[in-house]
Amino acid sequence: MAISGKHCFCLLLVFNAIINTTTALHKRSDDVSPQAVMTLVQQQAAAIQRLEAKLTSAETRLTGVEATNQQQSSTITDLNTKLSDVNSKLSDVNSSSSVGLNNINTRLDTTVFFTAHMSKYPVTIGERSPIRFDAVVTNVGGGYNPTTGVFTAPVSGVYVVYAQLMKHIDVPYIWWVLDKSGTVLCMNRLEKTSTYDTSSCLATTGLHKGEQVFVRRDKGDNTLEGNWYCSFSGFLLSSDP
């Protein structure tokens, strides 16, 4: 049968007590009575019991400390697992934020809108050539050219374009169109009256990058009132993916 460390320690104490008792008996064999020897042995046994009790108490405390350490180790493992989960979620949030920021930057990069009007009045225009609106109010995206009167799509997408014209007083009618690279998007007419007449055109169209839209006279008179009475605008409704 295996002997525990506690029992070994107790045996050592007993052997030590016996040795001490034997030594004392040898030294005082002449004047030590059997009763004194018995008393000494009992005292040693009591001392051993007290030591055993202390050892048992120490072992109990050690067991408690080990249990506490195990609990703390388990708690630390749980905390590390939770921390790993938090770090993973934080990484996902950072990734989502980065994607969202990139989308915002992409939208900002593809923001396109413009408005321009004529700076003079009256204005003489050519036939079937782009009408120039030389006074630029806004030109975000840089698609409109006030020198030519042509808007060139800087990105592919769906655009909304709008134009308004007013003919000069006492001139015949004017037919005019919104032209997309040779295709008529919208047509309108300034009536032959003795007063001013205004008309407008609005169109929604898909444009590939580089395609152009402009306003041109189709037929009729060639004199417009100009100034703010004649304007050309447009904006990107949605860009292609």
How would DSSP label each residue in 107-152?
Answer: HHHT--EEEEE-SSSSEE--SSSBPP--EEEEEETS-EETTTTEEE
Mean pLDDT (whole number) for 65-83 = 85
Q: Is the pLDDT of residue 7 over 70?
A: no
Coil, strand or helix: which one is 167? strand
Under CATH, to which class is 113-239 assigned?
mainly beta
Which residue carries 């040779």 as its tokens? 182
* 122-138 b/e (C-beta count within 10 Å ≥ 16 → b): bbebeeeebbbbebeee
How would DSSP label each residue in 45-95?
Answer: HHHHHHHHHHHHHHHHHHHHHHHHHHHHHHHHHHHHHHHHHHHHHHHHHHH
Q: What pLDDT, on the 0 to 100 scale, is given for residue 81?
A: 86
Decide if 165 contacts 198 (C-beta within 8 A).
yes
CA distance 162 to 71: 74
Record the pTM: 0.58
One-letter amino acid of 142: G
Q: What pLDDT, on the 0 to 100 scale, is given for residue 194?
A: 67
Q: Is the pLDDT of residue 179 over 80?
A: yes
